[in-house]
Amino acid sequence: MSAKGIILTSVFTALISASTSASAQTAQPCAPGSWNCVSAGASAGTEATAGATTTVTTPQVQVQVQQAGPSYAPAAPPPTYPRPNASSVPYVVPAGSVVYVQQRPAQAPQWRTEWGITGRMSSGLFGASRNNFDGSGVVGLGIGGRFRPSAYAAVQVNLDGYGGRDYYGRSRSEAAFGVDGIFFLNPRSRSQFYLVGGIGWASANVNSNCSYYGQGSSGYNEFCQPGGDYRYFGGQLGFGTEFRFNRHWAVNGDIRGFVRTRTDSDKDRLPEFISGNRATNTSGGALLSLGAVLYF
């Protein structure tokens, strides 16, 4: 072989060795099915010999790809619609919409102003009779009207008529007019306790008892008292309870103490009460009452 042939053979051999070495160093896994992929399942490594087939194997690579699910943005707040007024036109909620209705907080029932008609039976107690007459006291009937603007308070006017005997045993008839204020302590209960107080005026016709002792009009003393027409003004204070059957009907009972004095023109000349050298026109007692109320 000539020198030129030897040189060409050496160069060719060197080029093949360099190409094989480069292939062993740059072989990398690629996507399956590519035209430039090596066969799967071959052992890793590279063997290169001059004039032989070069097999390049790469390790099998398993790649797990996590596919992201659909992403959702925060939902927009649902549409709100104003509460319709009674005078507003009807409105239609769009299909598929969610409507939130804002409820007002529960409120305690509001008190409704009440009016009422009252009736009662009463008994007036004056204490033991000065002249030891049995049955000292009066009994009577009355009617009235009641205005109750709130659950706790009411105003009542009364007109009563009484008959009986007074402290001296004198027979008497009496008409009374009064104005009372009533304060209910527990108005939400069926049995309602109350305090009552008021003022009143009265007119009484009193018969003399002097004929009982056989004395004339000049013999007035602590036993023989003249009669006449008396006028009174006074006040009363007491307590009681009222039981509500329903919205319209109720019954009540109370006890009241009263103090009053005469206001007529004869009060100084003929005082009502005489005891020895003392005289007075001021008197007092107690009233027991049972009654009913019709509310509307």
Q: Is 38 a member of any domain?
A: no
What's the pLDDT at 163? 96
Residue 109: phi and psi, rounded to 5, are -55, 135
Q: What is the pLDDT along the chain (296 residues), one digit of tens a residue?
A: 555 566 656 655 665 565 555 454 444 454 444 334 444 444 444 444 444 444 444 455 454 445 555 556 666 666 655 655 545 455 566 666 666 666 677 776 788 899 999 999 999 987 665 555 556 789 999 999 999 999 999 999 999 999 998 887 888 999 999 999 999 999 999 999 999 999 999 999 998 877 655 554 444 555 677 788 999 999 999 999 999 999 999 999 999 999 999 999 999 988 888 777 888 999 999 999 999 999 99
Length of the chain: 296
d(CA 280, CA 170): 17
Beta bridge partners of 291: 120, 252
Q: Is 70 a member of any domain?
A: no
Q: Is 46 a member of any domain?
A: no
Closest CA to 177 of 196, 157, 198, 148: 157
Hey, what are 164's tokens?
């009986």
Beta bridge partners of 159: 143, 177
Q: Structurally, how many domains does the chain consist of?
A: 1
Q: Is 237 a member of any domain?
A: yes
Q: Is 2 a member of any domain?
A: no
Closest CA to 201 of 171, 235, 164: 235
Hey, what are 25's tokens?
């160093």
Q: Is 6 a member of any domain?
A: no
Question: Containing domain of residue 253, as a range?
Answer: 114-295
Strand ranges, E, within 30-136 = 45-47, 55-57, 114-125
Q: Is 147 a member of any domain?
A: yes
- The enclosing domain of 127 has a CATH number of 2.40.160.20
Q: Is 217 a member of any domain?
A: yes
d(CA 120, CA 141): 6
